[in-house]
């Protein structure tokens, strides 16, 4: 580490424990950062597109995850480098905002960094590159608005939505039955969507999985699925027109929060206490019965005695239901969550048309279906599949599809996929570059080149000649003035993405551009890296 | 400039060819490991845990072997997982599914080496799997309408399943046991209601199915040893001291006499409880929790048989069998449903006394008592029987049946081959490879039996060109034989699950082009490592085979 000396030749100590830290400065720092960012992008590059490959990740505990989802790969990769962590953050924020395109955004950022490296070598100042990128991203952003199309859908005509979800699912392992899953996702989103406010609360869609069966058995349940069974093995397994009491108080003797003692010193007291205890249980069950409940769902446990009383009074009950599930049940059945037995009233009960218990496989797995609810605003997607990793990957894929469907409901504009939007933007940015005086021009051109990285990776993953294919498509776009030409990944025989029905959401794509540019700008601005050297 | 480390220390990353190689090799190693257990002449494995006691398991069951292995290779873990799911879903075919997936990957490796893209291979495999499934669907036999034939189908399936296990010597006896037990379930797949009791001693042949219910408990002293027309109350309640459950309650007294009083009250309380129970008009009381001496004495006085500490499963099963409900309060005797049975008596098996409930109301549950020379034999016998029971209970619901002995694989491979010829493009190589992987299963079966597999498979293939062929490998006579005549059958559901999950797993592993392993979490190295030793593998020993190993163990 470079040191500063005073006039006596003693070093100035500026940073705490200066000797033990490594420091990179200037161009060197930028190049190190860029190469780290590129390394991350290179890992994800092969996962892009319908013919993209999966990654196998082994966690510290030895669990195996096989996935194609960019955000999941990065999150589980256990990275150590600071810049790499930035890229992980980037992918995560795309996941939170949009839910899809997590791989694309990292590939895009990697390409931008790669181009920036070339410019740095030519001696262009990083800030100028960053500014050029900013301008270019604005041009691309506006261009995308231009080529975007509105598309109409209704509650009855949701075919276009299904098509978009299918585009998302086609890059995952579940593409064998993407049609099925896409329909399930769209139906689920439409069921909970608030079409007037144009918003969807994805929390209302619960995704449950269970190993066994085939992927084709995956189903959408208009209701709630709880991985619990009745508290007593002999309670009825099916209840019609259930009135549900949703409780957060245990069927147990009271436990006051303040410290107390009950002293027993005479036989009378002993007997008295016994009777009270007995009466307490009786009262609890009676209160539930009095308001007309036919099913009790409780967040806590039951005492053996209470359990038998419930069963005896013909009041089926479910115990140890988690807080989130309890809330969903309350929303679905239109009931209120009741914290105390005294506050139970008939109005606070939830209503469901059918509650049933279902068993699976050769083991004793049971689940509880709550269906035909008063308010169908909460649905469950129930996934089946050959093994655990398959189920997990399907869950992630369904989540992506749900997000895409939600984005379309929020904003129904789309751009075409298959790299067509990127190519079109690249042409527009390239054309605009000449109009800028100054060094930024180079950065803008570099941005155009970086935009080509996504279609290039798509072509490469699909086993096509990347450069040849890309230039062919590009010239076709310019010649026919048709911004919908893309890479024909599935070997269908046409380049026109309108015919192939490959869409992506406009906001998803725009967000990718903005986020990638932002992160790259941030990385470029770093010119000093100080880190503790541990060895 | 060198790229800085991106991953944490000790984390590793493997890419492209290397990653593919690592997963192929891992998966194939697992498949090769269990390969030798396939088929009626398959060998067993001894698993020895390095944990305390060095426990030994002898088994032929793929799922059990794989479950106890400590595996580091991520691709191998996928195979272990599918074998586990196969066990949970259909119960049998746990070895076949792993072997098939391994063979699919072995073929895929060759194709990748020939520069065919994994995605193309996957597309081909998918088409082939669909075609193979359709081929099976065309050939299935469904005898649901004819109960006689259906029962004989079940018998055949049970015998085929058992023939590759330790029970093969007495397979007829056990097949009959299993079929009888499953038929009593009347279509339910809840195997919980079939209880298996293992008692060392005697020989495997002495195992029997009991129509009633056997509880592994003793009858209290001074209580009747035999009750006819029993009325049973099944309960889950504290019969030691009935504690006051109100929080914070404690006894505080100022003199000894008061203590005695309270103790008296406590006793009185228990007496009341017992009186209430007796008021149900019962003559047998089964409790999940302990019964202390005092209430036991009271029960004995009233001439009631009291059984304490029956485990939870036992209680549930007993409630299921006798039709009573599990009670915890005893205030309304008129509305509690009691269980009934004709006779309760104490019986002896070996030198253990057990309680036998016969003439039960609901005949849905039953008990199988296994006898055998040692614990290892009994454990393995239980696993084998469990496999057979699972397959049978699934077959009762889905009664489609296929022939066995490598017949289904040959049928599938023939159709898949045909598809390969019709398909243009690189995919056809993958489809052809799929067919080769299918043929590998009969090849392994005959190899394991010490037969000339190349010769036999060629004969079998020629045989299958004929319409309506029923030929398969007859391991006993060592030639190609008619499977329909030999009565070797398999359940369609098992074969389908094997086909679909093996393809799914192979597809999953093929799609991977990068393996990232995180740094292992630091912890005490207590993990039980399991060593696996293949005891004998030469052809001449195969003839002595399993008997030799078992005898060695039982001495």
- At B534, the pLDDT band (50, 70, 90 cuts) reads very low
By C-alpha distance, which of B233, B231, B215 is closest to B327? B233
- Tokens, residue A227: 């991985």
CATH class belonging to A21-150+417-524 = mainly alpha
From the list A46, A254, A264, the residue facing B247 with the nearest CB is A254
**Residue A5 DSSP label:** B
pLDDT of residue B4: 53
Rounded CA-CA distance B555/B552 in Å is 6
Helix ranges, A199-322 (H):
267-290, 304-312
Q: Is there a catalytic annotation at residue A103?
A: yes
From the list B5, B319, B519, the residue facing A81 with the nearest CB is B5
pLDDT of residue B240: 66
Q: How far apart are the first and last CA of chain A?
A: 15
User: Which residues make beta-bridge pairs with B343?
Assistant: B228, B358
- Tokens, residue B206: 């002495």
- Which residues neighbour A151 within 8 Å (Cβ) at sequence distance 6 or greater? A160, A412, A413, A414, A503
Q: Is there a catalytic annotation at residue B452?
A: no
pLDDT digits (tens, 9 = 90+) for B205-244: 888 888 777 877 777 667 777 888 888 888 877 776 666 6
pLDDT of residue B555: 31
3-state helix, strand, coil in chain B (%, to 5): 50, 20, 30
- Tokens, residue A143: 């261009």
The chain-wide mean pLDDT, for chain B, equals 80
Selected residue of A35, A48, A64, A285 to mutate for chain B interface (largest B Cβ count, 10 A): A64
By C-alpha distance, which of B149, B38, B110 is closest to B475? B38
pLDDT digits (tens, 9 = 90+) for B267-289: 887 888 888 888 887 888 888 77
Rounded CA-CA distance B102/A531 in Å is 47
User: Which residues make beta-bridge pairs with A243?
Assistant: A351
Q: Do the Cβ atoms of A484 and A420 come closer than 8 Å? A: yes
Three-state SS string over B126-151 comes to HHHHHHHHHHHHHHCEECCCCHHHHH
- Tokens, residue A266: 């005479």
Which of B92, B170, B387, B474 is labelled catalytic?
A: B387
- Tokens, residue A220: 């959408």
From the list B4, B120, B236, the residue facing A36 with the nearest CB is B4
Q: Count of CB contacts below 8 A, A vs B?
A: 235
Q: What is the domain partition of chain A in residue ranges?
A: 21-150+417-524, 152-222+377-411, 225-375
- Which residues of chain B have a CB within 8 Å of the CB of A35? 1, 3-4
pLDDT score of B115 more than 90: no
Greater confidence (B109 vs B259) lies with B109
Q: Do the Cβ atoms of B336 and B282 come closer than 8 Å? A: no
Q: Do the Cβ atoms of A460 and A48 come closer than 8 Å? A: no
Q: Do the Cβ atoms of A38 and A86 come closer than 8 Å? A: no
B408-446 in b/e burial notation, b at 16+ Cβ within 10 A? bbbbbbbbbbebbeebeebbbbbbbbbbbbbbbbbbbbb
Q: Do B85 and A303 touch (CB under 8 A)?
A: no
Q: Do B7 and A35 touch (CB under 8 A)?
A: no
Q: Do the Cβ atoms of A64 and A154 come closer than 8 Å? A: no
The dotted CATH code for A152-222+377-411 is: 3.30.260.10
**Residue B501 DSSP label:** H
Q: Do the Cβ atoms of B396 and B181 come closer than 8 Å? A: no
- Which residues neighbour A293 within 8 Å (Cβ) at sequence distance 6 or greater? A243, A244, A245, A315, A344, A349
Q: Do the Cβ atoms of A201 and A356 come closer than 8 Å? A: no
**Smallest CA–CA distance from B190 into chain A, residue:** A362
pLDDT of residue A198: 80
Q: Do B519 and A60 touch (CB under 8 A)?
A: yes
Rounded CA-CA distance B65/B82 in Å is 13
- Which residues of chain B have a CB within 8 Å of the CB of A252? 245
The helix/strand/coil state of B206 is helix
DSSP string, A363-413: TTEEEEEEEEESS---EEEEEEESSHHHHHHHHHHHHHHHHHHHHHHH--E
pLDDT score of B548 more than 60: no
Q: Do the Cβ atoms of A383 and A208 come closer than 8 Å? A: yes
DSSP string, B273-327: HHHHHHTTT-SEEEESS-B-HHHHHHHHHTT-EEE----HHHHHHHHHHH---EE
Rounded CA-CA distance B384/A244 in Å is 45
- The residue with tokens 């997590």 is A102
Q: Do B191 and A214 touch (CB under 8 A)?
A: no
Q: Do A57 and B515 touch (CB under 8 A)?
A: yes
Averaged pLDDT, A141-149:
91
Residue B364 sits at the chain A interface (C-beta within 8 Å): no
Rounded CA-CA distance B398/B137 in Å is 13
**Smallest CA–CA distance from B87 into chain A, residue:** A362
pLDDT of residue B102: 93
Q: Do the Cβ atoms of B471 and B407 come closer than 8 Å? A: yes
- Which residues of chain B have a CB within 8 Å of the CB of A68? 511
Phi, psi of A528 (to 5 degrees): -150, 120
Q: Do A273 and B249 touch (CB under 8 A)?
A: yes
Give the closest-approach CA distance of A426 to chain B in angstroms. 29
The chain-wide mean pLDDT, for chain A, equals 84
**Smallest CA–CA distance from B255 into chain A, residue:** A265
- Tokens, residue A402: 């749900």
Type and span of the H or E element at A208: strand A205-211
Rounded CA-CA distance A348/A329 in Å is 13
By C-alpha distance, which of B362, B262, B272 is closest to B322? B362
- Tokens, residue B175: 């097949």
By C-alpha distance, which of A315, A314, A303, A327 is closest to A250? A303
By C-alpha distance, which of B477, B447, B483, B491 is closest to B42? B447
Averaged pLDDT, A166-193:
86
- The residue with tokens 């399930």 is A184
Q: Is there a catalytic annotation at residue B142?
A: no
Phi, psi of B478 (to 5 degrees): 75, 35
DSSP string, A229-251: -BSSTTS-SEEEEEEEEEE-S-B
From the list A36, A56, A303, the residue facing B74 with the nearest CB is A56
- Which residues of chain A have a CB within 8 Å of the CB of B387? none
Please state, in angstroms and as integers, the Cα–Cα distance from residue A330 to each residue in A181, A195, A250, following that order.
27, 22, 18
By C-alpha distance, which of B238, B232, B230, B231 is closest to B328? B238
pLDDT of residue B241: 65
Q: How many CB atoms lie within 10 A of CB B448?
A: 21
Q: How far apart are the first and last CA of chain B?
A: 68
Averaged pLDDT, B518-526:
61
Q: Which of A117-121, A327-331, B200-204 has the highest mean pLDDT?
A: A117-121
Which of A102, A164, A294, A517 is labelled catalytic?
A: A102
Indicate the burial class of B225 (C-beta count within 10 angstroms; 0-12, 13-18, 19 or more).
exposed
Of the given ranges (A518-522, B108-112, B547-551), which has the lowest mean pLDDT? B547-551
- Which residues of chain A have a CB within 8 Å of the CB of B234? none
Looking at chain B, the whole-number percentage of residues with pLDDT higher than 70 is 87
Q: Do A277 and B262 touch (CB under 8 A)?
A: no
Q: Is there a catalytic annotation at residue B387?
A: yes
Rounded CA-CA distance B21/B31 in Å is 15
pLDDT score of B42 more than 90: no
Which of B36, B37, B64, B95 is labelled catalytic?
A: B95
Selected residue of A38, A313, A387, A460 to mutate for chain B interface (largest B Cβ count, 10 A): A387
Which of A46, A65, A67, A69 is labelled catalytic?
A: A69
pLDDT score of A287 more than 80: yes
From the list A64, A81, A273, the residue facing B6 with the nearest CB is A81
Q: How many CB atoms lie within 10 A of CB A219?
A: 13
The helix/strand/coil state of A481 is coil
pLDDT of residue B541: 38
Q: Do A54 and B513 touch (CB under 8 A)?
A: yes
Q: Which of residues 49-78 of B touch A (CB under 8 A)?
A: 72, 74-75, 77-78
Averaged pLDDT, B481-492:
87
Give the closest-approach CA distance of B436 to chain A in angstroms. 23
pLDDT digits (tens, 9 = 90+) for A473-508: 999 999 988 888 888 877 777 888 888 888 888 988
**Smallest CA–CA distance from A59 into chain B, residue:** B518
Greater confidence (A253 vs B545) lies with A253
**Smallest CA–CA distance from B391 into chain A, residue:** A362
Helix ranges, B336-406 (H):
375-397
Residue B21 sits at the chain A interface (C-beta within 8 Å): no
Residue B257 sits at the chain A interface (C-beta within 8 Å): no
Phi-psi category of B161—alpha, beta or left, where left has phi over 0 and alpha has psi -120 to 50? alpha
The dotted CATH code for A225-375 is: 3.50.7.10
Give the closest-approach CA distance of B8 to chain A in angstroms. 5
Averaged pLDDT, A339-344:
82
Give the closest-approach CA distance of B549 to chain A in angstroms. 31
Please state, in angstroms and as integers, the Cα–Cα distance from residue A447 to each residue in A443, B63, B454, B516, following that order.
6, 54, 62, 31
Rounded CA-CA distance B395/B154 in Å is 8
pLDDT digits (tens, 9 = 90+) for B435-460: 999 999 999 988 988 888 899 999 99
- Which residues of chain B have a CB within 8 Å of the CB of A273? 244, 246, 249
- Tokens, residue A420: 């067509």
- Tokens, residue A332: 């679905």
- Which residues of chain B have a CB within 8 Å of the CB of A233? 316, 319, 326
- At A2, the pLDDT band (50, 70, 90 cuts) reads low
- The residue with tokens 């993209």 is A52
- Which residues of chain A have a CB within 8 Å of the CB of B11? 77-78, 80
Q: Do B5 and A303 touch (CB under 8 A)?
A: no
Rounded CA-CA distance A233/B95 in Å is 35
Q: Do the Cβ atoms of B278 and B304 come closer than 8 Å? A: yes
pLDDT score of A444 more than 90: yes
Beta strands per DSSP E along B328-383: 339-349, 352-360, 366-372
pLDDT score of B538 more than 60: no
- Tokens, residue A125: 């100042």
- Tokens, residue B481: 């034989």
């Amino acid at each position: 580490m470079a040191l500063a000396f005073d006039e006596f030749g003693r070093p100035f100590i500026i940073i705490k424990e200066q000797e033990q830290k490594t420091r990179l400065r200037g161009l060197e720092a930028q190049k190190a950062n860029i190469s780290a960012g590129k390394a991350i992008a290179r890992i994800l590059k092969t996962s892009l597109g319908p013919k993209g490959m999966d990654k196998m990740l082994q966690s510290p505990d030895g669990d195996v995850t096989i996935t194609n989802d960019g955000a999941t790969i990065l999150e589980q990769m256990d990275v150590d480098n600071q810049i790499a962590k930035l890229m992980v953050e980037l992918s995560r924020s795309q996941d939170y905002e949009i839910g899809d395109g997590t791989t694309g955004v990292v590939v895009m950022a990697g390409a931008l960094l790669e181009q920036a490296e070339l410019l740095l070598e030519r001696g262009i100042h990083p800030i100028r590159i960053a500014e050029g990128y900013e301008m270019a991203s604005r041009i691309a952003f506006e261009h995308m608005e231009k080529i975007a199309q509105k598309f109409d859908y209704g509650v009855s005509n949701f075919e276009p939505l299904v098509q978009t979800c299918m585009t998302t699912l086609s890059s995952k392992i579940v593409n064998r039955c993407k049609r099925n899953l896409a329909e399930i996702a769209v139906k689920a989103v439409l069921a909970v969507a608030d079409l007037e406010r144009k918003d969807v609360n994805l929390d209302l869609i619960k995704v449950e999985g269970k190993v066994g069966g085939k992927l084709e058995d995956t189903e959408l349940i208009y209701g709630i699925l709880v991985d619990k069974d009745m508290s007593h093995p002999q309670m009825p397994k099916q209840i019609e027109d259930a009135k549900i009491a949703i409780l957060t108080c245990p069927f147990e003797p009271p436990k006051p929060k303040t410290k107390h003692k009950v002293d027993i010193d005479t036989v009378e007291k002993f007997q008295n206490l016994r009777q009270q205890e007995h009466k307490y249980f009786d009262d609890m069950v009676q209160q539930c019965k009095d308001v007309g409940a036919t099913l009790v769902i409780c967040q806590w446990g039951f005492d053996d005695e209470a359990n038998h009383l419930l069963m005896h009074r013909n009041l089926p009950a479910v115990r140890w239901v988690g807080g989130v599930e309890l809330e969903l049940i309350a929303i679905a059945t239109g009931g209120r969550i009741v914290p105390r037995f005294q506050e139970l009233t008939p109005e606070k009960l939830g209503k469901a048309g059918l509650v049933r218990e279902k068993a699976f496989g050769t083991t004793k797995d049971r689940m509880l279906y709550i269906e035909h609810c008063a308010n169908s605003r909460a649905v469950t997607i129930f996934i089946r599949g050959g093994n655990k990793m398959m189920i997990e990957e399907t869950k992630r894929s369904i989540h992506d599809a749900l997000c895409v469907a939600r984005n379309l409901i929020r904003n129904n504009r789309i751009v075409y996929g298959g790299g067509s939007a990127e190519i079109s933007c690249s042409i527009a940015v390239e054309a605009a570059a000449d109009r800028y005086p100054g060094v930024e021009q180079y950065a803008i051109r570099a941005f155009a080149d970086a935009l080509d990285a996504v279609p290039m990776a798509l072509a490469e993953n699909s086993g096509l000649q990347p450069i040849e294919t890309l230039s062919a498509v590009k010239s076709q776009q310019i010649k026919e003035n048709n911004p919908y030409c893309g890479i024909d990944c599935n070997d269908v025989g046409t380049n026109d993405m309108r015919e192939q029905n490959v869409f992506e959401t406009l906001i998803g794509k725009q967000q990718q551009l903005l986020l990638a540019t932002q992160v790259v700008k941030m990385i470029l601005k770093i010119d000093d890296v100080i880190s503790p050297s541990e060895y | 400039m060198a790229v800085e480390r991106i991953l944490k220390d000790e984390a590793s990353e493997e890419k492209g060819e290397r990653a593919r190689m690592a997963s192929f090799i891992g998966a194939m190693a697992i498949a090769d490991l269990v390969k030798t257990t396939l088929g009626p002449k398959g060998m067993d494995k001894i698993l020895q845990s390095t944990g305390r006691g060095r426990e030994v398991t002898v088994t032929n069951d793929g799922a059990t072997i794989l479950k106890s292995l400590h595996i580091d290779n991520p691709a191998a873990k996928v195979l272990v997982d599918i074998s586990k799911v196969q066990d949970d879903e259909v119960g049998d075919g746990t070895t076949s599914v792993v072997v098939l997936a391994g063979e699919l990957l072995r073929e895929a490796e060759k194709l990748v080496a020939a520069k065919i893209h994994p995605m193309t291979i996957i597309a081909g495999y998918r088409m082939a799997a669909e075609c193979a499934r359709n081929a099976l669907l065309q050939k299935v036999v469904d005898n649901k309408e004819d109960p006689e034939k259906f029962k004989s189908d079940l018998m055949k399936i049970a015998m085929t399943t058992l023939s590759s296990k330790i029970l093969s010597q007495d397979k007829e006896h056990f097949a009959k046991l299993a079929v009888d037990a499953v038929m009593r379930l009347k279509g339910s797949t809840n195997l919980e209601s079939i209880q298996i009791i293992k008692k060392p001693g005697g020989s495997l042949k002495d195992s029997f199915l009991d129509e009633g219910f056997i509880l592994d408990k003793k009858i209290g002293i001074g209580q009747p040893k035999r009750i006819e027309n029993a009325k049973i109350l099944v309960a889950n309640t504290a019969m030691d001291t009935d504690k006051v459950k109100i929080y914070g309650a404690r006894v505080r007294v100022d003199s000894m006499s008061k203590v005695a009083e309270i103790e008296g009250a406590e006793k009185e309380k228990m007496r009341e409880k017992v009186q209430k129970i007796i008021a149900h008009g019962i003559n047998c009381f089964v409790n999940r929790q302990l019964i202390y001496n005092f209430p036991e004495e009271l029960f004995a006085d009233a001439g009631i048989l009291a059984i304490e500490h029956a485990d939870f499963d036992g209680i549930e099963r007993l409630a299921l069998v006798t039709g009573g409900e599990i009670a915890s309060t005893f205030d309304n005797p008129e509305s509690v449903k009691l269980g009934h049975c004709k006779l309760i008596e104490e019986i002896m098996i070996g030198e253990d006394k057990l309680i036998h409930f016969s003439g039960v109301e609901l005949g849905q549950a039953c008990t199988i008592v296994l006898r055998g020379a040692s614990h290892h034999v009994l454990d393995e016998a239980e696993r084998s029987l469990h496999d057979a029971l699972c397959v049978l209970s699934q077959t009762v619901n889905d009664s489609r049946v296929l022939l066995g002995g490598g017949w289904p694989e040959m049928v599938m491979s023939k159709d898949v081959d045909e598809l390969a010829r019709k398909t243009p493009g690189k995919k056809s190589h993958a489809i052809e490879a799929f067919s080769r992987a299918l043929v590998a299963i009969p090849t392994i079966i005959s190899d394991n039996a010490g037969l000339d597999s190349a010769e036999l498979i060629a004969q079998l293939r020629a045989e299958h060109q004929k319409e309506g062929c029923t030929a398969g490998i007859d391991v006993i006579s060592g030639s190609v034989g008619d499977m329909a005549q030999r009565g070797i059958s398999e359940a369609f559901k098992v074969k389908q699950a094997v086909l679909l999950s093996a393809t799914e797993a192979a597809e999953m592993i093929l799609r991977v082009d990068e393996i990232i392993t995180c740094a292992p979490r630091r912890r005490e190295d207590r993990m039980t490592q399991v060593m696996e030793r293949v005891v004998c593998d030469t052809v001449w020993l195969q003839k002595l085979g399993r008997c030799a190993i078992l005898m060695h163990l039982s001495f």
